[in-house]
Each structure stands twice: as structure tokens, then as C-alpha cells.
Amino acid sequence: MTIALEAINLNKNFGGIQVTQNINLQIHAGERRLIIGPNGAGKTTLFNQITGELKPSSGCIKVFGKDVTALPPHLRPHMGLSRTFQIINLFNQDSALHNIALALFGVSPRRFNPFRQLKPSDPVYERAHAVLKTIGLEQSAYKRVGEMSYGEQRRIEIGLAMSQSPKLLLLDEPLAGLSHDERIWIRDLISTIPKSTTIVMIEHDMDVALAFAEKITLLHYGRLIVEGDRDTVVNHPQTKEIYLGK
């Protein structure tokens, strides 16, 4: 079975603080993997190393068998890697449509042509409209992102990530800060993502997260503590002690 993501002896230090410690992780193609752990466990730091925002202090990261440890972050989407952020990261003064179009243009070979302007008639906007329809925001295409609700911005962020047709998608707390109805909407949206896309998700909403996960990894103080299927991890004594508070 193809391995979509592999971390080998991954370490990240900030001065004398070790944030990830000898993490060894394998996630197979098509898998739905949940990463859990208390605040400060190193979950987002792990994501940032996978996507290249942070360079590991030591260790190796492979995406579909290719070593990307030293690869700049702007090149990783071209290997099929995409992500969302714990803190929404959009262009608030631009329209929802333009945000999506820029994401699509960013992985297009045409981005290297400095003389080609991105005009409203450009085919990339047609594709952006299709993405907005997928996330239920086609009626808000020309609305400025900064004027949209937090839940709508979450939808756009997921739309941005999916617009690039990723083979590996990292979702960093996609339900954080949402109302009950918004969480249901995002949950249902994530459930429509095809199995051709491997998904790794950090999430604290355990009802949604456990329904999503095929395998779970528990981190604590940067260490991988428990890993396995849902029942194995949820019922493990260390999970109950460290994360579930039982």
C-alpha cells in the first residue's frame, strides 16, 4: 500500500525546548488520520514541518516516497500537498472569488509569465466559481472576505485547499470557533472529499473527529504516545489520562 506521508525520527527544537521528539509516523494513501493531544502537544508544529513553514532540527519527511525535508514550502503544493490553518489566513480585502482564483493560479504553470494579467475573463475564474459552488458560497463570489462570517471564511479556506486537487490534505482544527450549525456544515463538506485525497486532521471536537478517523495518533509534549484504530486509542489508559481526563 502506498505511503502518502512519512515522518522519520522527526525533531524540532526551539532553543532548549524540544517541541517534537523523535516522531515516527506513516499514513497510507486514502487514509483519514486524526491527530489529537492537549494544547502544546506539538500538533501544529508537526504540520508546519510537513508543509515546510518550519525546518526540522533533525529527521526526515517524505510525501508519497519523495524526501521533502529541504523542499521550500511554495514547492510542496506541486507535489500534491495542501493545508488549512488553525488561524484563518485569507486576503480579507479581496473577494471570495479572487481568493480562490489566486490559489488556483498559484499552482498553474502560467504563474511564471510576468506579462500575463489575471483578468475576469480568465478561465481560472470559471474554475473558482465552481469551487465556490462546491462550498455553498456561489452567491457570495464578489463579497469581500473581511465582510463574511467566520464560518463562511472557514468554508473558503477549505475551498482554497481543495481547489488545488491535493493528494494529501492537512486540516488544522477546521471546526474551531464555529457554531453548532456551522460545524455540521463543515463536517459534511469534509465527508464529501474523495478517498483519492489522504486527509490528516487536528481536531478537538471529539464527536466529529472520532466519526471521521480511521486511525488516531496521540501526541503529548511532542512525543507520539499512542497510535492505532479508534477503539485502541480511545480506550488506551494513557489517552484517558492525558487527553480525555478520565
CA separation for the pair 47, 53 (Å, rounded): 9
Q: 38 by DSSP, 3-state: which? A: coil
Domains of the chain: 3-92+166-244 (3.40.50.300)
Helix (H) or strand (E) holding 61, with range, is strand 58-63
The pTM is what? 0.90
What string of pLDDT tens digits covers the 246 residues of the chain? Answer: 799 999 999 999 988 889 999 999 999 999 999 999 888 899 999 999 999 999 999 999 999 999 999 999 988 988 899 999 888 889 999 999 989 988 887 665 555 444 455 566 577 888 899 999 999 999 999 999 999 999 999 999 999 888 888 999 999 999 988 888 888 889 899 999 999 999 999 988 878 888 888 999 999 999 999 999 988 888 888 888 887 665
Beta strands in 77-231 (DSSP E): 81-83, 168-172, 198-202, 215-220, 223-229
CA separation for the pair 31, 200 (Å, rounded): 8
* Distance in Å from the first CA to the final CA of the chain: 36
Provide the grid cell at 190.
469534509
